[in-house]
Structure formats: C-alpha cells, structure tokens
Amino acid sequence: MNEDQIKELKKCSVILRKHIIEQVYNAQSGHPGGSLSCADIITVLYFNVMRVDPKNPQWEDRDRFVLSKGHCSPALYAALAEKGFFPKEELPKFRRIDSFLEGHPSMRYVPGVDMSTGSLGQGISAAVGMAIAGKIDNKDSNVYALIGDGETQEGQVWEALMAAAHYKLDNLIVFLDHNHLQIDGNISDVMSPEPVEEKFKAFGWKVVAINGHDHLQIIEAINEAKKSKGKPTMIVAETIKGKGVSFMENEAGWHGVAPDREQAEKAKAELDAVLAGMEV
Amino acid sequence: MQKKIATREAYGNALAEIGEDTRIVVMDADLSKSTKTEVFRKKYPERFFNMGIAEANMMSAAAGLASCGKVVFASTFAMFAAGRAFEQVRNSICYPALNVKIGASHAGLTVGEDGASHQVIEDISLMRSIPNMIVISPADAVEARQATIAASKIDGPVYLRLSRLAVPVLFDESTYKFELGKGVTLSEGTDVTIISTGYMTGKAVEAVEQLKSQGISARLVNIHTIKPIDKDIIIKAAKETGAIVTCEEHTVMGGFGSAVAEVLIENYPVPVKMVGVQDKFGKSGKPDELIKMYGLTAEDIVNKAKEAIALKKA
C-alpha cells in the first residue's frame, strides 16, 4: 500500500459518511451513529479487499459480506452505490415506499447485498453457513461479516462463534465494530460483553485488535487473517460511534435518530472541510 | 397386521436416497439419531453438519448455505425448529425466500412420554403464518418419502412436519403420486367430509369405517400441503356434502382446521367442527392414552361428524 492509495480510501470513507448523513436526513429515520463508526471498515472491504463485480452481483466466486448489524444499512448502501451496484440517485430514497433501499438490507431487493439482515445475531450465523459452503466447494473466496459490540449480547452470536471454530472456518473474517455504545447507553452499563478479546480467543478464534478508523491497520489485519490456518479470525476494531461528525461522536443519542436540516448541513460542512483538506 | 413406519424414518431414508445431488446439505442439532438424518450422515458425511444444540444458529447458517446455491435440509424437533428458532426461520430463511427445508420431527402429542415441553401443538399455526413458507404434513411413510423428494425440487422454504410414532402405511408406493398443493380423496361420501392431515388421517380412516357401519356416508380428504392449501377440493366437499370436520394433531387455534375454515368462510360457508387440541398443553403418557385424553380418537371424529351433520340440518 502506498500513501496515495491510503489517501484515496480515506477520501472514499468521507464520501460514504456524507451519503450516510444524506440518507438518514432525507428519510428522517435511520441509524447514523453505528453507520459512521463502521464506514472505514466497509470502505476498505469494498474498495480495497473484496473480490466483487458490480456488473455481476451474483458471481459465484465472489467474496461475500454480511452486515450482521443490519441497521447500519446506510453505510453499506453508500458503498454499494459508489462501487456501482446501483445508481447513486437511489440513495436519497432510502427507507421510502418507492425504493428498494429497505431500512434493513434485503438481498432480494438490493443488488450487492449478500444476506438479508436486521435482526441482530442472525447475520454472523448466515456468514458461518456461507463459509461452510465455501469449504464444501473448495472455494478460494472469503466471507466477511461485521457485528456490533451490543450485538454480542445476543446468544446466537456465541453459537455462531462456536460453530465457526468447530468447523475450522479460516475463510471467515469477522469485524467487531467496538464503539462501546448501544441504544440505551454504554455497553458496559447495559450488559457488558467484556472482555471481548479473551472471550473470542476462548471460543477458538484468532483475534486481531486494531484501530477501526485506520485504513492501513484494517488492511493489515485482513492480510493477517488470511494467513490463518484452521481458525476463523475476529478483528476487534476499536471505533467511535458517530465518527466524523463532531456532535455525533460518542453520543448514544445518535444511535437511531435523524439529524434535522441544520444538523445535517453542519455535518456535511464538516465532512466537506475534511475532503477539501485532502485535496491540498 | 398393518405395516407401521414413522414419517421421520421415511424422511431420513429419502434424504439418503436423493443425496447423490451434491447440492444437498443436511444439518442437525444433535438429534440425528431421532430425526433420522443419521441415515444421510452415514452415506454422505462430507455434506452433513451437526450444529450442536443451537437451533438458532443452525437455521441462520442454513440460510447462508442456501444463499450459496445449496439445497439445505435443517432438522431438529418441531418444537425447536418452529418454536425456539421461529424468528431465524422467519427472518433468515423466509424473508429472503432461501432454499431451506426444515425437517421438523416429533411434532404433536404422539411424542408421548417426553411430555408437554416437547409436544409442539403450535407449529402449523406459526409456520403457515410466514410469507414464502410452504407447509407439508405427511400422513404416512409413503407420503413422507415423496414429500421429502418433492421438497428438494422446490426453490424456496419448506416446513416438513414429521412424527416420532410409527403409523400405519396408508398409501401404496407403486401407485401413490404426491402432488404439491393437492388434497387426496381417500373415500367418497355424501353426508359429511372429514378433512385431515398428518397422523390424524390414520384415525380418520377408522372413523369413516365406523360412520359407514352407522349408516353415515363420510368423504375423507387427506391434505398434506397445508400451505398452499387445496381450496378447490375443500369448496367442492362443502358444496357436495354440506358439512366439514377437520382433524389435526395440533391446537385448533390457527392451525390446520383454521386454514380449512378460512377457505370455507370466504367461499362457501358450511358447518365446521374441529378435532384437535383445545387450548391445552400436552402431558406425559403413551401416545394412545394421550390421543384419548385430548379427544383425537376415531370415536371423537365420529362424534364431531354427527355434530356437524346435525348443524347442517338445523
């Protein structure tokens, strides 16, 4: 990776963040906080790592991605639109009756969505199933998934972790979006899943801890995961909920609340300023 | 002595029979000896996955496999398939219409001694209420085998309701032909129609004989596909016999009888009596004792038939 490539990825993340704000603002509904916290990971996956073809979304040998925390669909939709899976003009119609951009991703309606998600805990299990399919067919492709840290309170997540280690799914790479906040507050106040790294290790996973907003670290962690033999990898990505919009950062209140016009303008102005700074 | 085979037995054998199709993957939740998926496991171990006692994960993982082109049969007891994993079945499998077949064994009261915790009597109601789901409830081993094979050829979710108990073989394998969504008329009659599903069809056959000896001509229709249900055969029976009795090893609330009644109410209302479990949990006991205690015997069907006929004349 050279510096220019990293710079391009960083720019892309800012563009995705602008799309996130616009989608949620237009819909006056949706989940900005968690979408912003995972935007850098999704950028790296779709614009650097994953083998996908926007012209052939059902390509059998593609890498697959499951957004297990499906409420962060604005981040995924932004990436899919920028990648060319569907026109960017669709994004402002997010959550509208005349759009296929469902509040939570539907694989039946949205080109590029590999699994319908939204009910927490189920996506990681689906990713386990995809990874098993990959093993049966001896595919060289990988399955990626992203789970929330609040989501780990779902028992099904641990069933999935157990199964992935049992079947030695080293073709499965999962990100934990560790932003420490859920709707009702700090995860350690609501129902602490900590210490997550030790728990994942105890469940038989390879664990890599990174800063989830550092594109190079994300890429290196994936490269590290790909070297794993016989073990699935959990990349514990330390993130900031609301990342990139000053007044949304580390505020649980922005989990599922849309900005008003003034707030949306302020958010976009901040992101535009970052973009302008990158052009210099 | 009539030959008796459990529908779960036929299911397991059928899976092994169609297992040459390499798209087929079978999953189980630590019950492969009971659900009979072990027959497949022994023949095709590389495409069998024991997911442990973790039904939620199994259902969503089955969805993931299906999204990669596999034809997945996910098996466990009906209680856990339809009950515990209801929401995984709804959101991971049915919402995206993925190609997963749920082989749900040990449905209903005839589970017997294990008691109420394992006797699911709500699964038909739950499964038929989910969009995209096909619900099949075979009456005997012949129907179960053919239903399993038919399910493997459908592109989409199917719920197969299977039983623990060995039941009489009603159909002749050489002549019986399973047709999805088509009811089967087992005997013609003019006074009343008994419409039954699953285990209860065997009881209904006995009931028809008893009614005959009492001078009552009862038609018997076996419905294996509860959804989509054969509306034509139900409406025809209502028009021609004027009274209906439904029979199910399941609660009468929202289940098979309700499905039949929905068709009648909208198209050709006639008196309906329902044989089924009346808003009660099951209990431990021998299958025959339970059937008697909960009002699911041939005699119960006979009595309901007379009540339905009486309503017709009123």
Within 10 angstroms of residue A269's Cβ, the number of other Cβ atoms is 9
Asked if A51 has any chain B CB less than 8 Å from its own CB, the reply is no
Element (H, E) at B167: strand B166-168
Q: Which residues on neighbouring strands pair with residue B102, listed in sequence order?
A: B74, B159
Within 10 angstroms of residue B302's Cβ, the number of other Cβ atoms is 23
Q: Read off the CATH number of the domain in which B101 is found.
A: 3.40.50.970
Rounded to the nearest angstrom, the minimum Cα separation between A46 and chain B is 20
Query: In this structure, what token pair is assigned to residue A115?
Result: 């699994």
- Specify whether B122 is located in the same domain as B220: no
Q: Determine which of A61, A128, A142 to mutate to test the interface with B (most B C-beta atoms within 10 Å).
A: A128
Over the stretch B121-134, which tens digit does the pLDDT of each residue have?
999 999 999 999 99
Q: B70: nearest CA in chain A?
A: A133
Q: How confident is the model at residue A203 (pLDDT cuts 50, 70, 90)?
A: very high
CA A13 to chain centre: 12
Q: Residues of B with CB below 8 A from A106's CB?
A: 95-96
- Specify whether B205 is located in the same domain as B232: yes
Over the stretch B241-279, which tens digit does the pLDDT of each residue have?
999 999 999 999 999 999 999 999 999 999 999 999 999
A108, A115, A118 ranked by CB distance to B97: nearest: A108
- Specify whether B195 is located in the same domain as B308: yes
Asked if B46 has any chain A CB less than 8 Å from its own CB, the reply is yes
Over the stretch A225-250, which tens digit does the pLDDT of each residue have?
999 999 999 999 999 999 999 999 99
- Specify whether B18 is located in the same domain as B118: yes
Q: What domain count does chain B have?
A: 2
B176 is a domain residue:
no
Q: What is the mean pLDDT of residues A111-119?
A: 98
Can you list the domains of chain A with their CATH numbers?
Answer: 3-279 (3.40.50.970)
- Specify whether B121 is located in the same domain as B200: no
- Specify whether B98 is located in the same domain as B138: yes
Q: Which residues on neighbouring strands pair with residue A237, listed in sequence order?
A: A177, A210
Give the range of the structural domain holding residue B307, as residue numbers without chain letter: 184-313
Domain boundary, last residue among B135, B168, B201:
B168
pLDDT at A280 over 70: no
> Is this complex scored with an ipTM above 0.95?
yes
Q: Residues of A with CB below 8 A from B64's CB?
A: 66, 115, 125-133
- Determine the Cα–Cα distance for residues B63 and A86; give it in Å rounded to an integer: 24
pLDDT at B92 over 80: yes
A116–B91 C-beta distance less than 8 A: yes
Asked if B250 has any chain A CB less than 8 Å from its own CB, the reply is no
Query: In this structure, what token pair is assigned to residue B17?
Result: 């029979």
Spatial neighbors of B289 by CB under 8 A, at least 6 apart, are none
- Specify whether B277 is located in the same domain as B225: yes
B243 is a domain residue:
yes
* Contact between B247 and B195 (Cβ < 8 Å): yes
Q: Token pair 């289940």 is at which residue?
A: B255
pLDDT at B1 over 60: no
SS3 A52: coil
Q: Determine which of B22, B30, B67, B73 to mutate to test the interface with A (most A C-beta atoms within 10 Å).
A: B67
Q: Read off the CATH number of the domain in which B232 is found.
A: 3.40.50.920
For chain A, helix, strand, coil in percent to 5 are 50, 10, 40
E-strand spans in A24-132? Answer: 64-67
Asked if B53 has any chain A CB less than 8 Å from its own CB, the reply is no
> pTM score, two decimals?
0.97
Domain boundary, last residue among B117, B142, B168:
B168
Q: Is residue B55 annotated as a catalytic residue, yes or no?
A: yes
Over the stretch B274-296, which tens digit does the pLDDT of each residue have?
999 999 999 999 999 999 999 99
Q: Residues of A with CB below 8 A from B63's CB?
A: 115, 122, 125-126, 129
- Specify whether B133 is located in the same domain as B195: no
For chain B, helix, strand, coil in percent to 5 are 45, 20, 35
Query: In this structure, what token pair is assigned to residue B234?
Result: 């139900």
CB pairs A-B closer than 8 Å: 109
Q: What is the mean pLDDT of residues B176-182?
A: 98
Q: A133: nearest CA in chain B?
A: B65
Q: Token pair 């399910």 is at which residue?
A: B151
